[in-house]
Structure 1
Amino acid sequence: MPNNALVPYAHLPRAHHNRHVLTSTIDVLGAAHWLLAERAPQPGDELRPFDALVVSVHTGGNVELTELSAVRARWPRLDRLSDSGFVVAASRAGRDEDANQVQVFDALGRETSSFSVGDAIEHLLVDESDHIWVGHFDENPDGIRRWSATGRLTWTSDGARIPGLFDCYALNVSSTTAWACPYTDFPLVEIRPDRTDKPVRVWSNRVRGAKAVAIHGERVAFYGGYGEERDRLAYGELTETSVEPTDVGRLSLPDGPAYSRRRVVSRGSRIYVQTEPFATWGVFDLSS
């Protein structure tokens, strides 16, 4: 089975290692961002607004710091907007927090608006037009939806005829297009809401349990799976109606297999992977 090692991509500057990483992501332009707090949230903690720091590492290596005031998300998702502001969303929306689940901050770290996108957020990714794509896990039947940065629903998977959409296992957002691989049938789905002809295309797929997907032309790579397949990298080619398998390998960190908890972000031809303590990102690029 061929092995593919992740290429080191970005790391949290050592000066900030004394803070707790609440979450981290890679934006649509390739910059890495870490949302940091003074300490980790504890079970039973009262939900109180807190100040947080976003450390951004751009593709050229430049580091940017943004202080966010009065963050309310205990288990947050994060991404950046084109005006250098940020979106922070609580992955779980309780009855009390639902109306303020998503916070939008400007470039100075001030909250400018808040709204709800629904409970059980598995993925939150912003595209180049500042639309916010949200993929839900199975405790929310909303599937996949796209929102404006002001909280207006602009697309929903309701009625899109995506087979077996109970949990958005994998979501890839690049430019203004989204790709998904949802549980239970695991089809590969292309979503282009602004295209009048076939805004949604579906390919049947035999790869089960992937947590990330990369697309390059007619080539596809699925990362992850169940049990011993958690490091699997399965390749395929797009035909008219299906993804035809071509090869299977493994994806590992530069210093060996990753056995700890991990975070993945899919952007176009790239899959970014991060493991505990979540201070570094590695990348696999299908186009390389």
Structure 2
Amino acid sequence: MQKTALVPHLHLPRAHHDRHVLTSTVDVFGTAHWLLAERAPQPRGDVPPVDALVVSVDPDGDVELTELSGVRGRRPYLDRLPDGGFVVAVSRTRRYEEAKQVQVFDVLGRETSSFSVGDAIEHLLVDEAGHIWVGHFDENPVGIRRWSATGRLVWTSDGARIPGLFDCYALNVSGTTAWACPYTDFPLVEIRPDRPDRPVTVWTNGIRGAHAVAVHGDRVAFYGGYGEEGDRLAHGRLTETSVEPRDVGLLTLPDGSAPGRRRIVGRGSRIYVQAEPFTAWGVFDLSSCS
């Protein structure tokens, strides 16, 4: 089976390797961010708010540090707003009903607002307009929603006629467009809320279980799957109504090894992958494939 190696993208500066990585992401502009704490939180019980450091590394390698006060959650979600602020969120609402689930910080690291977006967050990604896209897993099957940075619901998949939208397995946000591949039917879905005549386009798809998707023109790639297909990289082409499957191979780390435990972020034609110890991002770019 053909193997495709990730290309090294960005890494956490070595000076910060002594801190614990709470989470990490790559934003819509290709900048990588690490949310760091002095020590790992306890594996069980309530987690008190902590002061955390965001280390941001842009595509040119420039480093920026932002201190955030009172970050909640053991394994939060993180993304950057276009104005330089940050969004931090916990997946579950059970312990954060009073304090709210989503925290918004300004460019100086001060919390400016908080709100809830619904239990069971699986994906949280900010778009170029500063809207927050949230995909949920099956313990709260509300689908996919787009929120303002002040907590106003601006788009919802309710009534969008997305077949089998029970668990948002894959979510890709680039520009102001989102792509999704949800369980149970795994269609490929394009969402453009700013196109009122046709905000949602759906293609049927036989590639099941992918946890990331990349799109470039009429080409699409799905990463991940069930069981032994966890490292699968499946290519396809878009017809008028369906995804036509093409090549199937494996996606590896730059050295050719399997990623193991990983974080994944989809952004347009790119799939970013970060393996333990979560200090470096690699990238697969569909636009670079012949």
Asked if the contact 1:133/1:144 (under 8 Å) is kept, the reply is: yes
**Distance in 2 of aligned mates of 1:81 and 1:259:** 29
Cα 1:5–1:263 change in 2 (3 A) is same
After superposition, the C-alpha distances for 1:49-86 in whole angstroms (9 at most, x for unaligned) are 11000000001000000000011222200000011100
Cα 1:38–1:180 change in 2 (3 A) is same
| Counterpart residue identity of residue 127, structure 1 | D
RMSD: 1.0
**Distance in 2 of aligned mates of 1:228 and 1:50:** 38
Residue number in structure 1 paired with 2:60: 60
Report the 3-state secondary structure (helix = DSSP H, G, I; strand = E; otherwise coil) of the residue aligned with 2:41.
coil
Residue number in structure 2 paired with 1:238: 238
| Counterpart residue identity of residue 91, structure 1 | S
Residue number in structure 2 paired with 1:175: 175
**Distance in 2 of aligned mates of 1:85 and 1:147:** 16
**Distance in 1 of aligned mates of 2:145 and 2:98:** 17
**Distance in 1 of aligned mates of 2:100 and 2:244:** 43
Asked if the contact 1:73/1:101 (under 8 Å) is kept, the reply is: no
Asked if the contact 2:143/2:167 (under 8 Å) is kept, the reply is: yes
Residue number in structure 2 paired with 1:227: 227
**Distance in 2 of aligned mates of 1:259 and 1:131:** 31
Structure 2: 5+ residue runs without aligned partners? none
Residue number in structure 1 paired with 2:17: 17
Residue 201 of structure 1: CA displacement? 0.5
Residue number in structure 2 paired with 1:115: 115
Asked if the contact 1:133/1:146 (under 8 Å) is kept, the reply is: yes
**Distance in 2 of aligned mates of 1:234 and 1:96:** 39
After superposition, the C-alpha distances for 1:26-66 in whole angstroms (9 at most, x for unaligned) are 00000000000111122334331110000000010000000
Aligned counterparts, 1:151-190, within 5 A:
151-190=151-190
Residue number in structure 2 paired with 1:28: 28
Give 4+ residue runs of structure 1 displaced > 4 Å after superposition: none
Aligned counterparts, 1:202-281, within 5 A:
202-281=202-281
After superposition, the C-alpha distances for 1:228-249 in whole angstroms (9 at most, x for unaligned) are 1111110000001000011111
Asked if the contact 1:258/1:275 (under 8 Å) is kept, the reply is: no
Residue 99 of structure 1: CA displacement? 4.9
Cα 1:37–1:137 change in 2 (3 A) is same
Q: What is the percentage of aligned positions where both structures have the same residue? A: 79
Residue number in structure 2 paired with 1:103: 103
After superposition, the C-alpha distances for 1:92-137 in whole angstroms (9 at most, x for unaligned) are 1115436511000001100000000011111000000000000011
Asked if the contact 1:75/1:92 (under 8 Å) is kept, the reply is: no
Structure 1: 5+ residue runs without aligned partners? none
**Distance in 2 of aligned mates of 1:118 and 1:24:** 22
**Distance in 2 of aligned mates of 1:272 and 1:98:** 34
Residue 257 of structure 1: CA displacement? 2.5
Residue 91 of structure 1: CA displacement? 1.2
